[in-house]
Amino acid sequence: MSSIQDNVKPDVWFVDDLIRATTKSLASDIVVTIPDFQRGLVWSKQKQELLIDSIKRGFPIGTLLLYQTNDNVDGKTSYNLIDGLQRTFALKTYAINPNKFFTTDDVGGSFVETIASELVKDSEEDLYQIRAIITAWVQDVHAFTAAAGWGANGLVQSLVEKVLDVPSGSRNFHEHVGRLLANARITVAIESFLDSVKERSDISKVRIPVIIFSGSESDLPHVFELLNTKGTVLSRYEVFAAQWHKETQQIGNKQIRDEIWERYDALEDENFTSDASEDAPDEQSRKNREYTLFEYLFGFGQFMSKKHGRLFEEKAENRPSSAGFNLVTACVGLRIGEMKELPVKLRGIDRSKLEACILNAVGFVDEALSPVLSVKQYRRRKTSYYHTEYQIIAMIASAFKSRYILDKELSDVDGWRSEWEKLAKSLVMHYLYDILRDHWRGSGDTKLHEYVVNRRYLNMLPNSGAWSRVLDTWFADNQKNLVHKGRHVKDDRSEILFLKYIYAQKLSVVKNAREYHVEHLIPVNQLKKLKASAEKLPINMIGNLALLEPSQNIKKGDLTFVEYLNKQLRDGEISEDDYQEKLCQFESQLLCRRNLLPDVLSATSYDEFLETRYQSLKLEFLNTWKDFIPANA
């Protein structure tokens, strides 16, 4: 009698083997097909990028499940892919164009600085532009061959054309290209960079664990259903639970301990038995217990998300928040990718004192951003997050580094008070500046580390010219991409954040939080009635939006504020004096002069209105924050 496990056999395949087996046009002695009960391709580009990033970092990506069929065509072994379709598709997509997944975080800071110094373009904006151009060039080259354009010559040409703004094909263009290619410092740096990109992109010999099932074919749909009932993938932080099991200390902060025990108590509530609950059944034993570094960082992250909910999003009680892990890692000077070295870095440092210092830095950043982030939509309980976790951690780690020396005593830096005073003004401006640029898209590990080390938030405050350029680019991009999808504007959009900066000082305090309604200057229904294609109108553009306090919100229906007051005047509801007074009030509250509104609404007049009102808002922003924005050099 055969064992149940005779139907299940483990194996290991190379990525190259899997791609060949699933691609008709490639030669292979095995064939992998997709059964009809498989769902479609649903992974986003971001999920595919995360999978490839995990492979490049050497992280496990899970096991594929194959069913060995009885088909044998031309001597080839045949399989059905039961579990792993999304991962397989990501691998195939990557194999066709490995550079598609290349990001700005893959461009090293020292390489960018080398290029910038040789091009004599070394401002922060120049470094940002150079990194973006290098990234775009790599993404556009689909193969690592000269025929595809891969090589120093192609990259140099792109840099000359786009950084130096020299027309391609001109005499001046060829002179610049020739000069740079003759520069050994540049060519050596570029060749080294290109080699590293090529080497890091080759995942063909990465091993993937495979389980081959050869039981009854009638069981396959049931097996597939069991495998795809919203299972949760083991996070990389939970992997550290095993790696750091010997790094134990007591935890003095009861709130952090409570967060840890919420996790274990939840298991007990579901009739599971946890070793931790057996070891520490009461409060005193929990206080005396030594906790692993994983447990501590888990509880620290949960605690911070509740104490500083404007900065950190709260996670489920049984899943680790990345905030605690990433923040401590950044504050002690490690890259996020070096997190496994955290136990060694923390040895000799009083963890309780480090915790207090980090919390001081968190509180400082929270307070610096509070003038804007405390502004909330009326009756909305859920917090809106405009930032990424890495952006906030970069700010907190910068504040930590500006105040504390990472030694056994965690002593204060000389002159830290003046640095924090300067930093408070810088952080609130960089917060919006980077969000409007979508600067932290992607993982941001490289940026996070570089910004802390280079003290970006202390030394690189954007001036009025930089602000004007960023705002104009943001407005143009949004006008092109933001089409009408409904009358309501999501509170987490950058348009609302920008308005918060303008209105922050204008809204009064209500229960310690400034509250608002979003107002469309030209009502949605008017725009919908235009004969032009309403679906293409950017109804929720910044130029058409304003904020009003709840007490100021007036039900004016489908009328503009001028039309509403005109109707009131015609109907005898208000006098001429009242009309003029209310008109001035509306102009002030909505930051929109009456003559900005189009006399006759059309697609053209609406576009003109958006542009004019945006320019008015830009001036309002620059004036409101003039003490925080240095003039052009």
Q: What is the pLDDT of residue 234?
A: 42
HEC sequence for 157-224: HHHHHHCCCCCCCCHHHHHHHHHHHCCHHHHHHHHHHHHHHHHHHCCCCCEEEEEEECCCHHHHHHHH
Q: What is the pLDDT of residue 512?
A: 45
Distance CA 580, CA 176 (A): 62
**Residues 6 or more apart whose Cβ sits within 8 Å of residue 337:** 57, 445
Bridge pairing between strands 376-377 and 515-520 = parallel
Which token pair is 237?
A: 């932080």
Q: Could you give the percent of the chain with pLDDT greater than 70? A: 85
Distance CA 451, CA 377 (A): 32
pLDDT at residue 432 greater than cutoff 50: yes
Q: How far is CA 190 from CA 154, 195, 197, 427, in A?
A: 11, 8, 10, 34
Confidence of residue 22 (pLDDT cuts 50, 70, 90): confident
Query: What average pLDDT does this structure show over 198-222?
Result: 79
| Contact predicate 251/101, CB 8 Å | no
**Residues 6 or more apart whose Cβ sits within 8 Å of residue 119:** 126, 130, 159, 163, 164
Query: What average pLDDT does this structure show over 313-335?
Result: 82
Distance CA 557, CA 525 (A): 9
Amino acid sitting at position 50: L
pLDDT at residue 632 greater than cutoff 60: yes
Alpha helices in 437-545 (DSSP H): 445-453, 456-459, 464-481, 494-503, 524-528
Distance CA 590, CA 584 (A): 10
Residue of higher predicted confidence among 98 and 610: 610
Confidence of residue 71 (pLDDT cuts 50, 70, 90): low
Q: Could you give the percent of the chain with pLDDT greater than 90? A: 28
Confidence of residue 80 (pLDDT cuts 50, 70, 90): confident
Distance CA 570, CA 592 (A): 23
For residue 525, count other CB atoms closer than 10 A to its CB: 12
pLDDT at residue 535 greater than cutoff 60: no
For residue 298, count other CB atoms closer than 10 A to its CB: 27
| Contact predicate 61/54, CB 8 Å | yes
Place of tokens 């307070």: 367
Which token pair is 98?
A: 């490995």
Residue of higher predicted confidence among 381 and 324: 324
Distance CA 631, CA 620 (A): 16
Q: What is the pLDDT of residue 139?
A: 87
Query: 3-state class of 99 per DSSP?
Result: helix
Q: What is the pLDDT of residue 255?
A: 93
Distance CA 320, CA 453 (A): 27
Amino acid sitting at position 359: L
Region of 56 on the Ramachandran plot (φ > 0 left; ψ -120 to 50 alpha; else beta): alpha
- Closest alpha carbon to 432 in 393, 480, 471, 379: 471
Instruction: Note the pLDDT tens digit of each residue in 117-126.
Output: 888 887 778 8
The DSSP 8-state label assigned to residue 511 in this structure reads: T
Confidence of residue 272 (pLDDT cuts 50, 70, 90): very low
Q: What is the pLDDT of residue 405?
A: 93
Q: What is the pLDDT of residue 146?
A: 83
- What residues form DSSP beta bridges with 208? 13
Instruction: Note the pLDDT tens digit of each residue in 224-266.
Output: 555 554 444 445 666 676 677 778 889 999 999 998 888 777 6
Side-chain half-sphere exposure of 103, counting CA atoms within 13 A: 18
Length of the chain: 633
Confidence of residue 1 (pLDDT cuts 50, 70, 90): very low
CATH number of 4-101+204-227: 3.90.1530.10
Q: Where are the beta strands (DSSP E) in 178-334?
A: 207-213, 248-249, 291-292
Instruction: Note the pLDDT tens digit of each residue in 475-517.
Output: 988 765 555 455 567 777 899 999 999 987 766 544 444 677 8
DSSP run (H or E) holding 546: strand 545-548
Gyration radius (Cα) of the chain, Å = 29
Long-range pairs of 267-276 with CB within 8 A, sequence gap ≥ 24: 267/318
The chain-wide mean pLDDT, for the chain, equals 83
Q: What is the pLDDT of residue 434?
A: 93
Instruction: Note the pLDDT tens digit of each residue in 292-309.
Output: 888 899 899 999 988 998
| Contact predicate 445/372, CB 8 Å | no
Bridge pairing between strands 8-14 and 64-73 = unpaired
Region of 256 on the Ramachandran plot (φ > 0 left; ψ -120 to 50 alpha; else beta): alpha
Kindly report, as residue ranges, where domains of CATH 3.90.1530.10 are found in the chain.
4-101+204-227
The DSSP 8-state label assigned to residue 483 in this structure reads: -
Q: What is the pLDDT of residue 484?
A: 47
- Closest alpha carbon to 130 in 155, 112, 152: 112
For the chain, give the longest Cα–Cα distance: 99
Distance CA 350, CA 252 (A): 11
Place of tokens 């404007």: 310
Instruction: Note the pLDDT tens digit of each residue in 559-599.
Output: 889 999 999 999 999 999 999 999 998 898 889 999 999 98
- Positive or negative, the CA dihedral 40, 202, 446, 347 is positive
| Contact predicate 358/297, CB 8 Å | no
Region of 522 on the Ramachandran plot (φ > 0 left; ψ -120 to 50 alpha; else beta): beta
Q: What is the pLDDT of residue 525?
A: 84
Of 1-5, 367-371, 470-474, 505-509, the poorest mean pLDDT is in 1-5
**Residues 6 or more apart whose Cβ sits within 8 Å of residue 630:** 461, 463, 464
Distance CA 620, CA 612 (A): 13
Side-chain half-sphere exposure of 287, counting CA atoms within 13 A: 6
Q: What is the pLDDT of residue 396?
A: 97
φ, ψ for residue 199, nearest 5 deg: -65, -40
For residue 426, count other CB atoms closer than 10 A to its CB: 21
| Contact predicate 251/211, CB 8 Å | no
Place of tokens 């499940």: 65
Residue of higher predicted confidence among 551 and 227: 551
